[in-house]
Amino acid sequence: MIAVAPLPAQDAPAWEHLTFPLFRPQLQEPDVLCVAASCGGQPVGLAVARRGRTAQLLSIAVDSPWRKQGIGGRLLAATLEQLSADGADSVEAVYIAGQPSTPALERLLQHHDFAPPQPRMLVCRALIATLVEAPLVAGRRQPRRGRIVGWDEMGAHTREALHEEASRPGACPDWAWPFFDEARIEPANSVVLEHAGRVQGFMVNHRIAADTVRYSRLFLFPGAARGAGFALAGESLWRQHERLGARVPKGSCDLEVANRMMLNFLGRHLRPWLTSVAVSKVARKVLVPQAKAVGDPAR
């Protein structure tokens, strides 16, 4: 008989093959909820979500021999119930469109009364050795003012200056916070632009798989010289190419579909050098408050 229940953190490693490599190191974090399906104690399915007022459904998977038996639906129902009991008001499911599993996932979300999915991001992937040949990157332009310092080259003064600049009220929006997920920041090609004792901007990246760096945060503070963003991005790409090389050959970045300027820039300057461009979508659901989580009656 299939049992579906929240997974204790210490048991998560046995189920990690049922989620994406990006999320495997996070399964034992306190704000991550794992709901597992098992048969005789053996893993057959896993749903992963991040707790919060607006919770995020990160992944849901059922091992191939066990599919089409309703296990995915039970995993999702138990996850939504637990998230509601944990205090979530709503949940967002973000996924890549056009994958073999997409139709099944969208049917599952629709069955559980998620709103129709909407386009969210363009997910761009590239081989860095190819991308550095693009005319915009090949010149490895230098900033008009200041110097670019690597994350692994920052002294305490530069780090403090970056933290101070980003913490000033109104200076740095939440989405651009440079110390986000700091444990996975890739030091080899994350870079900071400094000038006259102040930080002017940064490009912060994260290792999301053994062979892939995600270009996560590009941000300029007011007063940065024109073209500084191109200089930071180009330097970051070159550093991955030169310092990580064939060991980490891939890069990715996400662009909001509403950002028409960046989408036009992508199409004009970088699209021919990318290996793929996919659309990520988001489907949302308002949760009904629960007094407490209810155990799976089928256990």
Task: List, for residues 95-106, the tens digit of each pLDDT value.
Answer: 999 999 999 999
Confidence of residue 144 (pLDDT cuts 50, 70, 90): confident
Lowest-confidence segment of 62-66, 183-187, 194-198, 292-296 by average pLDDT: 292-296
Specify whether 106 is located in the same domain as 138.
no
| Residue 13 placed within a domain | yes
Specify whether 265 is located in the same domain as 133.
yes
* Residue 269 belongs to domain spanning: 124-279
Specify whether 26 is located in the same domain as 53.
yes
Domain boundary, last residue among 62, 81, 114: 114
Lowest-confidence segment of 21-25, 51-55, 59-63, 276-280 by average pLDDT: 21-25
Specify whether 248 is located in the same domain as 101.
no
Residue 262 belongs to what H/E stretch? helix 260-265
- C-alpha 70/C-alpha 62 separation (Å) is 10
Provide the number of structural domains found in the chain. Answer: 2
Cut 0.85: pTM above it: no
Specify whether 105 is located in the same domain as 133.
no
For 24, 61, 76, 224, the CA distances from 58, given in Å and listed in that order, are 11, 10, 11, 36
| Residue 287 placed within a domain | no
Specify whether 147 is located in the same domain as 183.
yes
- Select from 136, 104, 76 the least CA-distant residue to 287: 76
Collect all residues with Cβ–Cβ distance below 8 Å to 191 and sequence separation of at least 6. 148, 149, 150, 151, 202, 203, 232, 235, 236, 239
CATH of the domain at 81: 3.40.630.30
Under 8 Å between Cβ of 93 and 282 = yes
Specify whether 110 is located in the same domain as 130.
no
Specify whether 266 is located in the same domain as 170.
yes
Specify whether 110 is located in the same domain as 128.
no
Domain boundary, last residue among 84, 114, 144: 114
| Residue 187 placed within a domain | yes
Interval 38-76: pLDDT, tens: 999 899 999 999 999 999 999 999 999 999 999 999 999
Domain boundary, last residue among 114, 138, 158: 114
Specify whether 163 is located in the same domain as 271.
yes
